[in-house]
Amino acid sequence: MTDYRPETRAVHLPQPIIEGSRPIAVPIYQTSGFVFDDPEVMANAMGSPDGPFVYGRYTNPTVRSLEQAISGLEGGSGAIATGSGMGAVNIVLLGLLKPGDHFIAQQALYGGTAAMINELAGRFGVTVSYVPEDDPAALRAAVRPETRLVYLETIANPMCQVADLPGMFAVARELGLVSVVDNTFATPMLCRPIEHGADIVIHSTTKYLSGHTDVVGGMAVFADDALYKKVWHFAISLGASADPFAAWLTLRGLQTLPLRMERHCANARLLATRLADHPAVAAVHWPGLPTHPSYELAGKLLPDFGGVFAFDLAGGRAAGEKFMSSVRLALLAPSLGGVETLILQPATTSHRALSAAELAKHGISEGTVRVAVGIEHAEDLWADFEQALA
Ligand SMILES: *Cc1c(COP(=O)(O)O)cnc(C)c1O
């Protein structure tokens, strides 16, 4: 390198050669592509996720570390990181469905997923039927010759219905359908859907897995290698890839996932229990309470019930708005799964596109408040809620 002129030496930086030790933390490999010594190796690198790193849209060492970490936690054989949770939803749905296909989804779905399914139905010739998340007989009855896939969410937003994964996926397996589940709300700390028959597990890593409200990302985890490779080939064409810095932030968050989930669940339990006894509250929706319709199923499927719950204020929409404007510690914001407690009114935000009748079908009222509990001290949160209710 010393023979070259300064213009050339400035461009071709020395790469660190690491021998005899290695970094403790996973480094950020902030590079768009990789250099090869051998043209034959380079020529063969493009066709498979197993080969050497080649180009950032395919994967990257930091991204691969995250893919392996989450795949390991879920018990998968491979995973594909994406730039958002919706990216993961879409590599799976678009990667596996074609015009003329039919699939079956649960009624209560994340808003972005519901909107994307409407796009698929409206413009891509894919049809969908909706069934309750805990009704294997209804699933069986909805299956047609062209049905390909079943799509569930472990814990739904915002009313926290729990899906009967073993029951629903047993029917799917018997009928040769691909079983897909969005496990964002439960995380692998509360549920590993592959153990209950899932073929694909989707995450918005934006939420609990990263956990610090500072990154948007997604992941699709595959139980078997054939499905992983099939979707991988589509995913690199779609280009919804994860960025190495986003992957690095998510890796950093993931290290404390078990500790954070314990606190999220404990805080949700305390707030949900006390709210259920408060005179201004008409109902609390958290699967750890015996009044929740999923209580029995949740008790069998999950060791704890997550950090999201909803509650209905007896005073309706006005009481909801008053509560929202009276809290001092909880933040009015979308999203969930971060260290801060966030609240919103589904009727005016996440579910604003639904009519009053559709809201009622989902059990959401105008006075429903959704709480994504953070990891603050529970008594500080309770004091905030109590003063806002007063
Ligand atoms: C947030 C979320 C998504 C979408 O994830 P993004 O990272 O916002 O694209 C999908 N499913 C569930 C259950 C979510 O909470």
Which 3-state string (H, E, C) describes the chain?
Answer: CCCCCHHHHHHCCCCCCCCCCCCCCCCCCCCCECCCCCHHHHHHCCCCCCCCCCECCCCCHHHHHHHHHHHHHHCCCEEEEECCHHHHHHHHHHHHCCCCCEEEEECCCCHHHHHHHHHHHHHCCCEEEEECCCCHHHHHHHCCCCEEEEEEECECCCCCCECCHHHHHHHHHHCCCEEEEECCCCHHHHCCHHHHCCCEEEEECCCCCCCCCCCCCEEEEECCHHHHHHHHHHHHHHCCECCHHHHHHHHHHHCCHHHHHHHHHHHHHHHHHHHHCCCCEEEEECCCCCCCCCHHHHHHHCCCCCCEEEEEECCHHHHHHHHHHHCCCCEECCCCCCCCCEEECHHHCCCCCCCHHHHHHCCCCCCEEEEECCCCCHHHHHHHHHHHHC
**156 confidence band (pLDDT: 50, 70, 90):** very high
Question: 10 Å Cβ neighbour count for 236?
Answer: 18
Chain-centroid distance, C-alpha 142: 26
What confidence tens digit (pLDDT) does each residue in 40-56 have? 999 888 888 888 999 99
Q: What is the mean pLDDT of residues 167-196?
A: 98
Q: What is the CATH number of domain 257-389?
A: 3.90.1150.10
Q: In what order do the strands lie in the sheet with 368-372?
A: 281-285, 308-313, 368-372, 342-344, 331-332
Q: How many A from CA of 83 to the centre of ligand 1?
A: 11
The finding on whether 216 has its CB within 6 A of some atom of ligand 1 is: yes
Residue bearing the CA closest to ligand 1, atom 7:
85
Specify the pLDDT at position 142. 98
Specify the pLDDT at position 355. 82
Question: 10 Å Cβ neighbour count for 129?
Answer: 15
The finding on whether 201 has its CB within 6 A of some atom of ligand 1 is: no
Considering the chain, tell me which residue range(s) the CATH 3.40.640.10 domain(s) occupy. 39-254
What confidence tens digit (pLDDT) does each residue in 280-320 have? 999 999 999 999 999 999 999 999 999 999 999 999 989 99
Q: What is the mean pLDDT of residues 101-118?
A: 95
Which has the minimum average pLDDT: 1-10, 83-92, 190-199? Answer: 1-10
The finding on whether 191 has its CB within 6 A of some atom of ligand 1 is: no
Q: How many A from CA of 295 to the centre of ligand 1?
A: 24
- CATH architecture of the domain 39-254 equals 3-Layer(aba) Sandwich (3.40)
Mutate to test the pocket of ligand 1, among 90, 160, 206 (most ligand atoms within 8 A of CB): 206
Atom of ligand 1 minimally distant from the CA of 335: 1
In the predicted model, is pLDDT for residue 338 greater than 90? yes
Residue bearing the CA closest to ligand 1, atom 5:
85
CA separation for the pair 54, 32 (Å, rounded): 9
Cα distances from 267 to residues 198, 260, 282, in angstroms, run: 29, 11, 20
Q: What is the mean pLDDT of residues 202-211?
A: 98
In the predicted model, is pLDDT for residue 1 greater than 70? no
Q: What is the mean pLDDT of residues 46-72?
A: 94
Answer whether 313's CB lies under 8 Å from 201's CB.
Answer: no
Q: What percent of the chain has pLDDT over 90?
A: 89
Q: How many A from CA of 3 to the centre of ligand 1?
A: 53
Specify the pLDDT at position 288. 98
Mean pLDDT rounded to a whole number for the chain: 96
Mutate to test the pocket of ligand 1, among 82, 90, 110 (most ligand atoms within 8 A of CB): 110
Specify the pLDDT at position 356. 82
In the predicted model, is pLDDT for residue 347 greater than 90? no
Cα distances from 9 to residues 3, 5, 18, 34, in angstroms, run: 9, 6, 21, 19
Atom of ligand 1 minimally distant from the CA of 218: 7
Considering the chain, tell me which residue range(s) the CATH 3.90.1150.10 domain(s) occupy. 257-389
Active site residues: 57, 110, 182, 207
Atom of ligand 1 minimally distant from the CA of 153: 13
**125 confidence band (pLDDT: 50, 70, 90):** very high
Question: 10 Å Cβ neighbour count for 377?
Answer: 11
